[in-house]
Amino acid sequence: AVFDTSFHQTMPKYAYLYAIPHDYYDKYKIRRYGFHGTSHKYVAQKACRILGVDFESQKIITCHLGNGASIAAIKHGKSVDTSMGFTPVEGLIMGTRSGDVDAGILLYLAEKENLSIKEVNDVINKKSGVLGISGLSSDMRDLENAAAQGNERAQLALDMYYYRVKKYVGAYAAAMDGVDLIIFTGGIGENDPILREKVSTAIDFMGIDFDSEANKGVRGKDKLLTKPSSKVKVMVITTNEELVIATDTANIVKELKK
């Protein structure tokens, strides 16, 4: 088996533990596990090969943005933090998942709406995210089209989505004491030039000289999106999780045969 969480097992204890009684970690192993590990690993290594730099010398932030979405901080070849947690619901706003939410809200809703645990789970996993905010769709393309026609809630959903991505990128740059490379991947990351520009230009103070012309119309291909003068590079990289799984499987089988 190849686990989607395995790449994130290098996170330090202070990053993966939650501030709940430690007994729950001892009894149930409640901690941050993270997901999309195969994708984060693959695109980070692929980008370094394209740039001709050593993967283990770089500070990289990978943004896997699809209907499910997560961001990872990769320092010198190892994952040191990631936005998804014990379950895939934590972190970024997603298609139908809430992402980060005050846990007290869930208790409040359960009491006020007389919701069961299963019903609360449905709210945060299936009825929230950009779908819940917009009341329209979980598809970013639908929201961008609606926003262009003046739909205020569609625009709000987009603004909230961009903001959460920007906030996590900034936090992970701080966690690693800097960043050399930011990567966009996944169905949205690879195919949404608007999102890439909105996020990248908002954090240009970090040393990003974004190339808007290079970004235009880029969908589903690998490309550098910053100018030569940029201190921090931004790239769009196509992911291939199946290839990582196949490669890891082949390496394991090779070791078993020795």
CB within 8 Å of 82: residues ≥ 6 apart: 8, 11, 32, 34, 35, 36, 37, 40, 70, 71, 72, 73, 91
Q: Which residue's structure tokens are 């690998």?
A: 222
* Pairwise CA distance, residues 198 & 219, whole Å: 16
Say what the alpha-carbon torsion angle 170, 176, 179, 181 is, to the nearest 10 degrees. -100
Q: Name which of 116, 48, 38, 107 is nearest 70 in CA terms.
A: 38
For the chain, the C-alpha Rg in angstroms (whole number) is 19
Q: Which residues does the annotation mark as catalytic?
A: 4
Residue type, 224: L
